[in-house]
Structure formats: C-alpha cells, structure tokens
Amino acid sequence: MLLKKYKTHFFDSLKNSQDEQEIESFFFILTEYLHNLKRVDLALNPNFELSDAEVEKWNIILADLQQEKPIQYIMGETWFYGLRFEVNENTLIPRPETEELIEWIIESQKSKVKSQKFDILDIGTGSGCIPISLKANLPQANVSAIDVSEKALEVAKRNAISNKVEINFIQTNILEVEDLSQLPTPNSQLPTSFDIIVSNPPYVRNLEKEEIKKNVLEYEPHLALFVEDTDALLFYRKIAQLALKNLTPNGLLFFEINQYLGKETVELLQNLGFKNIELKKDIYGNDRMIRCEK
C-alpha cells in the first residue's frame, strides 16, 4: 500500500476524536519514527510503499490512538529540552511548560563561574527530565533526584545513562522526610544543604479532573498528578519547609504550580518567610512557576 493512501485512512480513522492539526502532527511523527522519513522526504518520494508488515505496525498504533493513548507512550519516548527521554505508564509525559522552568533555572546560574560547583535537588523526578536536563546544561552542578516510585526511578536511571549524565537517585516518600541531608543514599552521601531545590509535584485537584483530557486521565500515573481538594498545597508546604532547613543561605526554591493556585502558593511561601518571591506565567499565559529565596 502507498503511504499516501494509508494517510487518508489514518486521517479518516481519527477525525472524530482528534482535530486535523493534531492528526497531521501524529502522522509525521510516526513516519519519522517508523520509517526515518521527514516531511520533506515524503514530499520528494510520494510513491513510498508500505509492506504488509509495516501496514500492520501502523494499524496497531492507529488502534491505540483511537483509544486516545498518548503517542509518547505508544513510541515509548519523547523529546524534552533537546534530549530524548524514555517514558511509560509509570512516568508523566514531560510538558513544554516544564521546559520553561528548566530555562529559568539555567538563566539563574548564568552569572556563576563555570568551574563553581553547586548542588541541585529535584523532588518528584518521574522520568528524570528535570535533573537530567539541568545536569546536561550545568555540568558543574552536583544533581540529586527523589521519587516515591521505584518503577519511575528505573526509567529515570535509564534516561540518565542514555543522556550520559550522572544523577544521584533516591527512592523515598518526601512527605515522610524530616531532613533532606539524612536521606539514605546507596552510592554517595547527599550534601547537607542545596543551592537549588526544584519540584514539579502533584498539584491537580480532584475537582479539576473534568478538565483533564482522556489521554491524560486514563493513561498517565495518578500518583504523580492528583492531590486531595482539601489540601491542594500539601507537597508545596512540605517541600518548602524542608527547603528552609536544607537550602544554603540565599538558596533558590523553584516550583511548577497549579495555574489556579498561584496566589495561594505565593502566600504560603510568604508566610514561611521566603523572600524575593516571583510568580511567572507560561507560554500559554497561565500562572505556572515560582522562584523564591531562602
């Protein structure tokens, strides 16, 4: 079958569940993933032929897309801040907004001397996209990362290896930690204090579930997404309290936040005594990240 003929079938099969722009994006992502063909290659080779085995591969993927399974989980990979990451049902799919958080952290360190060492801790690391991207761009940093999920950490460790960076991974439930410097580490001793602590913790309230698309709600790990309506800032409060103990003087705390709770998160940090609190919007104009100093 000609690929251009299959394209028509592909579009017709998804038009009731996806908009045309998204279907087109899926199609060209998959032609590169399955055949190493970019859009320009298809334009130059309109009679590209699919074998029966290749058609079967497309059909299997198409069936998953019809069930609104995320294309990143179908392929088992995604790109984030210029790096390739393995993802599966145990890890959230990294978002463009989180790339903005990475950029903000990197910018905050631009004035430092290249040889100057400093310590970064990521809390709730998932696929490892935050610490790995930071280490790749700030090689002088000593980077550690925490997650409660053993399966997520297995993915994060593979991602660190494939991206050729060294990260100190620790499995623990952050809500049960009293002092970050006392965490058990299998390979090395954690610093007693950190220059930067960053977290993109669970922040979606159950009352917001109706806003969540099926591809997120039915496939991505709820452990990494949702908090109870009655205590939506649970993780922010706990991490901020630990940051007061374990950040260096004038150390920086960065959060990705719930867009509806920017004011409340700022007030929480003010009440705990943080200074120079800055609330920042993402590319979509939503309150999405906070930086503050100890």
222 lies in the same domain as 150: yes
Same domain, 102 and 161: yes
Q: Flag whether 141 is in a domain.
A: yes
* Number of domains present in the structure of the chain: 2
Whether 51 and 147 map to the same domain: the answer is: no
Region label for 260, one of left (φ > 0), alpha (ψ between -120 and 50) or beta (otherwise): alpha
Let me know whether 140 and 98 are in one domain.
yes
Regarding whether 287 and 221 lie in a shared domain, the answer is yes
Is 113 contained in some domain?
A: yes
Residues 76 and 91 sit within 8 Å (Cβ to Cβ): no
pLDDT tens-digit series, residues 210-223: 777 776 777 767 77
Q: What are phi and psi of 225, to 5 degrees?
A: -110, -50
Return the structure tokens found at 58.
């497309």
Write the DSSP symbol of residue 209: G
Give mean pLDDT, residues 9-14: 95
Distance, in Å, from the CA atom of 248 to the CA atom of 98, rounded to the nearest integer, reads 24
The predicted structure's pLDDT at residue 182: 81
227 and 139 in a common domain:
yes
Cα dist from 181 to 83, 185, 188, 210, whole Å = 30, 10, 12, 39
What range does the domain containing 100 cover? 77-293
**What is the predicted pLDDT for the residue at 187?**
62
> Lowest-confidence range among 128-132, 201-205, 281-285?
201-205
Tell me, yes or no, whether 127 lies in a domain: yes
Mean pLDDT of 161-171: 96
Identify the CATH number of the domain in which residue 210 sits.
3.40.50.150
Same structural domain, 93 and 61: no
**Residue 42: pLDDT above 90?**
no
| Domain co-membership, 28 together with 82 | no
Confidence of residue 15 (pLDDT cuts 50, 70, 90): very high
144 and 207, same domain (yes or no): yes
Rounded distance between C-alpha atoms, residue 63 and residue 65, angstroms = 5
Does residue 72 lie within any of the structural domains? Answer: no
Give yes or no: residues 126 and 231 share one domain.
yes
164 with 195, same domain: the answer is yes
State how far the Cα of 286 lies from the Cα of 278, in Å rounded to an integer. 14
122 vs 116: which has the higher pLDDT: 122
Which of 40, 67, 94 is the last residue before a domain boundary? 67
Domain assignment present for residue 226? The answer is: yes
Residue 185 has pLDDT above 90, yes or no: no
Looking at 13, 43, 67, the residue that finishes a domain is 67
223-265 pLDDT, tens digit per residue, is 777 778 788 899 999 999 999 999 999 999 999 999 999 999 9
170 plus 227 within the same structural domain: yes
